[in-house]
Structures are given as structure tokens and as C-alpha cells.
Amino acid sequence: MRMKRILIFAFALMIIALAVELCSCARVGTVVSNGEKPQMMREEIRIGVVVALTGKYAEPYGFPMQRGFELAREEINSLGGVNLRFITVDDRSTPEGAKEAVQHLVDQGVPAIVGLAISTHLKEAAPIAQENRVIAFSSVSSAAGLSGIGSFIFRTSLATNISIPSGVMATQQKIGYQKVATIYDEIDVYARSSNEVLKTVLEANGVEILTEETFKTGDTDFSQQLTNIMAAEPDALFISALAQEIARIVAQTSEVGFPDTIHVIAPDLTMDEVQKAGDGAEGAIGFIGWSSISDAPGNQTFIENYRAKYGIEPEPWAAQSYVTLYVLANAIKIAQSADSTAIRDALAQTKDLPTILGNFSFNADGDALYDQIVLVVKDGAFQVLE
């Protein structure tokens, strides 16, 4: 009996010791979950930002992107998970400026660069980041294949080979077009990519392309191309261009007397182009990643915060840049490191991350995956194309 009591007492001591150890572990877990981070996570992490602050792309792309990045940075830093500081460089709205900006930031030793709106610019500048193992995370560019430049290249916009097939399927089901025309910028990388993907998808869906009209970046008069398109009598016109040319082309459809029977579809149509195009935009259709009417969690809060900070309505490129920084910050938290390779690896594993664009993932190439929205202009405002 004495031996039995000794064994029971010893066993009880073991239980008490185990309980004390578990309690201690629980206290450590609580401290970590309450915000204790390694020293690196408390220090500033410098992030490069390449946006157009001068030149023709500043107003439609650069300024909205800068606003979206800055709003996200303030929110992220206030949460205490990471502390981000921007080094912002103007790409001057040129490929040469983008290359110089990326090289400057690489020389500064940043682990990641965000921005790089124009596909033509990303194509030229991304190899510099890739060669130096620095993340280049574009929030706007969408020409097919650019993320394939290397494993350090990521994008937030839906690539043309992802967005256009679903957009064509949705619009063809609604409108029922069987013969179409296209017009595209023969210089711009995005516009050429968009038109090539459109041709492939339309032909695969049994849609006849009656005519392909072209123009060059900076052109302002599209009356001849639009007259040629009217003469072909298509059911729909697809426009592949950047913001300034989209607005002018859509506006001029009204000026040359486009009939209502020709549906105007511009994949990247935004409210900015709609407002600039005026009456010509009525009935125009676009498919894009973000909209103010989206019910994605947090979207309306983002809109309210953007209005409060800047006194204007948010633009899609601001929203996508806002999401870009949140996705990057999430990867930094997961990596628990400012090392570009560690962050790259965490980015590549992003899966169904809740954002104002919806659940956000990357495919194997570093291109974003989420549900896009197909919109139609009615009475000067966007509505979902049901």
C-alpha cells in the first residue's frame, strides 16, 4: 500500500508539472497572437513604388495608383503587423523611365517594387527586377504572359488570357452577337495582347470577325476606322486600348453616328472613360476586376475611407493598388522576413485571401485569380450586366 501511495503521489506531481508547462505555453501563444513580432517585423521595411507622376499616364493611372497605395500603407501600418515605408519613383510615363526607376530601387536594396502600370513598361523593366531577385508586383498591367518573365513577377489585374474568355462568354450569352469588329493600338503591348486573345476566343466561340482596325498610341481621330466598322455592319465592336484612347474612341462612336445595333465593348472600361466619352458611352460594356457596386467584404468601407481621405470617388486602379499592398503585406507577415525570396515564396502560396476584389489567389505564373465583374453603362452609370 505504501508503494502504491508513492506511485500515485509521483504521478500527481507529473500531472501538475505538465499543467504548469502547458499554461506557460498558452501564455507565450497569447503574447505572440497579441502582436509580439520578431525584431525585423517591428522595423521599417522599404517598399519601392513605381508610378507615373508626370506625363500622359499620370492622371489616368499614376495618381489613382499612388492614392490606393498610400491609403493601404496607412491602414496596414496602423494595424501593427508590419511597418512599411515607401520609396516612390516617377516613371515619367515612358518605358525608359520605368527601367530607370526599377534599377534605382534595386540599387536601394528594396525587397519588392509595386506599381508598374503599363504592360509595355513592365515588359521592359521586369527583367531588371527578376535578374536581381527583387519582387516586381504590378497592380494594373494585364497583357498575357508578362508574369512568365520570372518567378519574382506578380500581378493584381486579371491577365487578358484570364479576363477576356469569361467576359466574352458573359457578353455573348447576353447579347448573342455572331459577327464583330475589333479596333486596337498596334504599338501598345496590352492592346495587342487583348486583341490577340479576343481573336482566339471569338473564333473558338464561332464568332466571325468582319474587320480589324488599328491605330497608334497618341492618335486622336478615329473617324475613318469607325466609319469602316459601321460599313461592315457588325453586331459588336471590341476596343483594345489604354485609357485616353478608349475615351476618345467611345466618344467618337456617337459623333460618327454609330447605330444602337452595334454594341461597344471595351474590356478595361472605367467610369473615368465613361465620363469623358459623354453620350457615346451609353450602353457601352466593360469587364473589370473592381467596381464600386461590388459587394465584396470591406469594399464599401474602402470606398468610404477613400472618399474621406481624398474627397473623390475611388478609381479601379486605386482599388487594385490598395489590394496589391495588402497582398504583399500578408506575404511579409507569413514570411516573417524582409528577404525578397522568402516574401516571393509566401506570395506564390497566396490562396483565397479575402480582399475588396473578392477571394484572391495567384496561379502558377504569378497572375491573379478572382471573379471579375461585367458592367454596362445605363443613364451614365455602371450597372451589372445581368
Is residue 22's pLDDT more than 80? no
Tens digit of each residue's pLDDT (9 = 90 or more) over 105-119: 999 999 999 999 999
DSSP notation for 149-161: G-TTEEESSPPHH
Return the pLDDT at 138: 98
Residue 363 CA from chain centroid, whole number: 14
218: left (phi over 0), alpha (psi -120 to 50) or beta: left
Q: In terms of DSSP bridges, do strands 353-355 and 285-288 run parallel, antiparallel, or are they unpaired?
A: unpaired
Contact residues for 380 (Cβ-Cβ < 8 A; gap 6+): 274, 275, 281, 282
Tens digit of each residue's pLDDT (9 = 90 or more) over 218-270: 999 999 999 999 999 999 999 999 999 999 999 999 999 999 999 999 998 99
CA distances for 135 relative to 116, 154, 219, 317, angstroms: 12, 8, 34, 20
Is residue 25's pLDDT more than 60? no
- In whole angstroms, give the CA distance from residue 253 to residue 104: 43
Return the pLDDT at 42: 65
Tens digit of each residue's pLDDT (9 = 90 or more) over 141-182: 999 999 999 999 999 999 999 999 999 999 999 999 999 999
Kindly report the pTM of this predicted structure.
0.87
- Please, which pLDDT band fits residue 1 given cuts at 50, 70 and 90? very low
Terminal alpha carbon distance of the chain: 82
How many Cβ atoms are within 10 Å of 305's Cβ, its own excluded? 17
The helix or strand, by DSSP H or E, that contains position 120, with its residue range, turns out to be helix 119-131
Is residue 11's pLDDT more than 90? no
> Which among 190, 201, 214 is positioned nearest to 121, based on CA atoms?
190
Is residue 50's pLDDT more than 90? yes
Q: Percent of the chain, pLDDT > 90?
A: 87
| Segments of the chain assigned E as strands | 44-51, 83-90, 112-115, 135-138, 153-155, 179-185, 208-215, 236-240, 263-265, 285-288, 353-355, 358-362, 368-369, 373-378, 381-384
On average, the pLDDT of the chain sits at 90
- Residues 240, 242, 244, CA angle at the centre, nearest 5°? 120
- Which whole number is the average pLDDT over 128-143? 98
Tens digit of each residue's pLDDT (9 = 90 or more) over 83-98: 999 999 999 999 999 9
Task: Report which of residues 190 and 386 the model is more confident about.
Answer: 190
Is residue 368's pLDDT more than 70? yes
- In whole angstroms, give the CA distance from residue 252 to residue 249: 5
Return the pLDDT at 43: 85
Is residue 20's pLDDT more than 90? no
Return the pLDDT at 41: 56
- Which whole number is the average pLDDT over 298-324? 98
- In whole angstroms, give the CA distance from residue 180 to residue 235: 5
